[in-house]
Structure 1
Amino acid sequence: MSQPVTPLTQPLDATVRPPGSKSITNRALLCAALAPGPSTLTGALFADDTRAMMGALSALGAEVAVSDGVVQVTGGALSAGTVDARQSGTTSRFILPAAALIAGRTVVDGTPQLRARPFGPVLDALRQAGAVVESSGFLPAAVTGPAAGGEVTVSGHISSQFLSGLLMAGPLMRDGLRVTLTSPLVSVPYVEMTKAVMAAFGVTVSDLSVEPGSYVPATYAIEPDASAASYFLGAAAVAGGRVTIDGLGTGSLQGDVAFADVLARMGASVIHAAGSITVESSGSLRGIDVDMADISDTAQTLAAVAVFADSPTRVRGIGFIRGKETDRVGAVVTELRRAGIDATEDDDGFTIRPGTPRPTRFAMYEDHRMAMSMALLGLRVPGIEIADPGCVAKTYPEYFADLAALGG
């Protein structure tokens, strides 16, 4: 089955509120499960990745209940168990440090795709903290605690999720946790997000250190997903017109709101307000040279937009996304080339030279972000289809319905 995309016949004039942030939802779920007592989460994302986290926490003894879109988590001391993280990198990389808090052996596993992703840095850090770890550096991994904590090192250039997971578990370790990075940190805004969510549940991170302590239950509102918003902001740039994202404003925790500023460099008009972001474009765009290391989840969105610019676009600083759900650098270049676009891989990113895509049924590589970004090409040119559209259920099950609604 494939999903055809219908080109728009007039400039956009739309307001969109994407579903809740996946990244914030999974952080809030874990902090709530580590807090003794009931917490309430509103605005949460309900998709494969967040249901994987809910299932993982339930498997470890937390109570997770959903009613009318509100998530109630009753947390406290977790117990050892077996966790299926499905395809969710955030779930697996956050649960492994949490498992190190438990006096028992916990096994974490996932799909074959997740098993191919690297886990060595976080597992090595857990060994340094005193946990017993059985793994070759990939899933499945068994972790036996409790870990005492103290001083640990972890690399920062592969994924910021390793650091975020360690920090969230740190306050419940006997000696707290002090983390030293052995390489430059990528996706820095995601670690700042982690600190903000932890603070909402009563834990303060000082630099990369957390003192022994405890979380407190909280009522927490989750903002819309900024990575998901990038597709609709990109739609305004590609098709022309105006799109406003409701619920994401100047106080957002998510670094990916900066994608709007990348579009501004390409010639779009951007308005940041307290509760919204608006992008307006004539559809006339210029190519840019941009480092997207801090907003790498929007790099594929920019690749689709760059096809319609008037000069090449060079994206830098994203070599690490080769280790995501798929090799996102190689996949973008391969698929755009199949559509007749001149695209090349670089060591740390890609270069897109503008052109007119020919009718293409794009392969998705089981990557939700490939599907959502490549679909933008179909808003401007006919004959674009997305193979395996169901892969968007990982983070945005209603994406294609919401994309179609842009046209009226």
Structure 2
Amino acid sequence: MKPQSVQFEPVAAPVSGKARVPGSKSITNRALICAAMARGESVLSGVLESEDTEVMIEAWRTLGLTLHWDKQAEVVRIEGCGGQPPTPHGDLFIANSGTSIRFLTAALAATQGEYRLDGVARMRERPIADLIHGLRDLGADLRSENESNPNCPPVRIHGRGLHGGVAQVAGNVSSQFLSGMMMAAPYARAPIAIQVTGELVSKPYVEMTAAVMQSFGVSVESHPSENSANLHYKINAPMHYRGCEYAIEPDGSAASYFWGAAAITGGRVRVQGLSRGALQGDVGFVDVLEKMGCEAIYGEDFIEVIGKPLRGIDIDMNAISDTVQTLAPIAMFAEGPTRIRGVAHNRHKETDRIGDLAKELRKVGAQVTEHEDGLTIQPGAYHPAVLETYHDHRMAMSFALIGMRTPGITILDPRCTNKTFPRYFEVMGELIGQSPCYR
């Protein structure tokens, strides 16, 4: 039976040890898009076993591709379709996977066929209009079928391919719109230039996209626009990705919770398989912890954080916004307030990761001021609380850190971590020397 809640007891001593986290969700779904669209077979290793991966793989299977997923070995073998799925039609259920619906929408708009993409109720509240408008600039025929909220899914695609040329896409809501267009661009009939309008949030994820594309044989050029500081990206077309062997890094966002355990308990935790040169911008969370007073050690195949007395900081988290929920519990135990800025787009993720996060931290006794673009967290006296997770994996994982310092923290719907880290509470429990208490 699915557990309704989970608890950890406060740790009796500083947490010390090593951890290895699963493969990156972000890299896994980018690699699956490139491999599926490629010519030839690809072998992906280090593949994350999660709901998001299941959704992406099942979508490509529905479209007729041959995939073999060895979950124990963390390997996917996939025979690419060369840019045209064998089954050129399908009704695809995407659950609440933002990367899947945005990347698949762009990729399928570059093919010939009829497709519909939909998900859970929350997915019908997550924006996709900027991606639709950007793809239309390139000749795509697609629209939202959401009559009550036409900026959101479901999406209906009449695939007629992309003619190429110049497109614009807003950068202030999600970098996934730009990443999706970049990955689809090689299959256009002519080269593509994508101009980003406004601020580009989470820019490291776009750089990650370009790096994954490069591994599959397609280069991306990026330049500042002539009349502004905004960027534009150029991709030659028509081209094809080439099947290859591709190793996926451990997930930097997942690693943040283990570094956070070191920070919040004054301990020492090493995460294996990551380095300062990782593709994922979220390893930059370690820099945030250093600003708060922690020490970091970087190796060729590990990053270690040593917890020290924590001080509050004023920090722009735009580039690593998925780690805001990790920072918030740590800030609760720092000396002085912490102001988190630059993450207004977090309101449009699995849940409102500003408003809902503030609501739950207040239940514990934190003094939280909500801003349009973030939060201010003022440390206080804490007490037991039952915390909602809003079916958001990052809520559940971050709240475990509060329980390491505060008795009686009950986290609801713990299996929502299946989205990116199904065994999170077990792995964290091994590190802190406890078995998670499920009810």
TM superposition score normalised by structure 2: 0.91
- 1:70 maps to which of 75, 80, 89: 75
CA distances 1:204-223 after superposition (whole Å, capped 9, x unpaired): 00111111111100100001
Q: Structure 1: how far apart are the matches of 2:305 and 2:143?
A: 49
Q: Structure 2: how far apart are the matches of 1:381 and 1:86?
A: 33
Match of 2:155? 141
- Counterparts of 1:319-334 in structure 2 under 5 Å? 319-334=344-359
| Structure 2 unaligned residues grouped into runs of 5+ | 145-149, 223-232, 434-439
The Cα shift of 1:105 comes to 1.3
- Partner of 2:346, secondary structure, is helix
- 1:10 maps to which of 4, 8, 13: 13
- Counterparts of 1:204-215 in structure 2 under 5 Å? 204-207=219-222, 208-212=233-237, 213-215=239-241
2:106/2:135 contact within 8 Å kept: yes
Corresponding position: 1:248 with 2:248: no
Between 210-219 and 126-135, report the one with greater CA deviation: 126-135
- Counterparts of 1:298-313 in structure 2 under 5 Å? 298-313=323-338
- Partner of 2:432, secondary structure, is coil
Match of 2:247? 221
Corresponding position: 1:371 with 2:376: no
- Partner of 1:104, secondary structure, is strand
Corresponding position: 1:176 with 2:176: no
- Partner of 1:190, secondary structure, is helix
Match of 2:425? 400
Matching residue's letter, 2:264: V
Q: Deviating runs (4+, > 6 A) in structure 1?
A: none
1:11/1:239 contact within 8 Å kept: yes
1:306/1:313 contact within 8 Å kept: yes
Q: Structure 2: how far apart are the matches of 1:372 and 1:122?
A: 30
Q: Structure 2: how far apart are the matches of 1:162 and 1:240?
A: 39
Q: Structure 2: how far apart are the matches of 1:92 and 1:114?
A: 9
1:30/1:57 contact within 8 Å kept: no
Q: How many residues align?
A: 407
The Cα shift of 1:80 comes to 2.6
Match of 2:405? 380
Match of 1:19? 22
1:250/1:272 contact within 8 Å kept: yes
- Cα root mean square deviation, aligned: 1.0
Matching residue's letter, 2:140: A
TM superposition score normalised by structure 1: 0.98
Between 21-30 and 48-57, report the one with greater CA deviation: 48-57
The Cα shift of 1:332 comes to 1.3
Q: Structure 1: how far apart are the matches of 2:135 and 2:36?
A: 20
- Counterparts of 1:260-339 in structure 2 under 5 Å? 260-282=286-308, 284-339=309-364
| Structure 1 unaligned residues grouped into runs of 5+ | none
Q: Structure 1: how far apart are the matches of 2:211 and 2:381?
A: 43
- Partner of 1:39, secondary structure, is strand
Q: Percent identity?
A: 47
The Cα shift of 1:63 comes to 1.6
Match of 1:202? 217
CA distances 1:109-141 after superposition (whole Å, capped 9, x unpaired): 111111110000001111111111131221111
Q: Structure 1: how far apart are the matches of 2:151 and 2:368?
A: 33
CA distances 1:301-333 after superposition (whole Å, capped 9, x unpaired): 100100000100000000110111111000111
Match of 1:34? 37
Q: Structure 2: how far apart are the matches of 1:356 and 1:398?
A: 31
Match of 1:44? 47
Matching residue's letter, 1:171: P
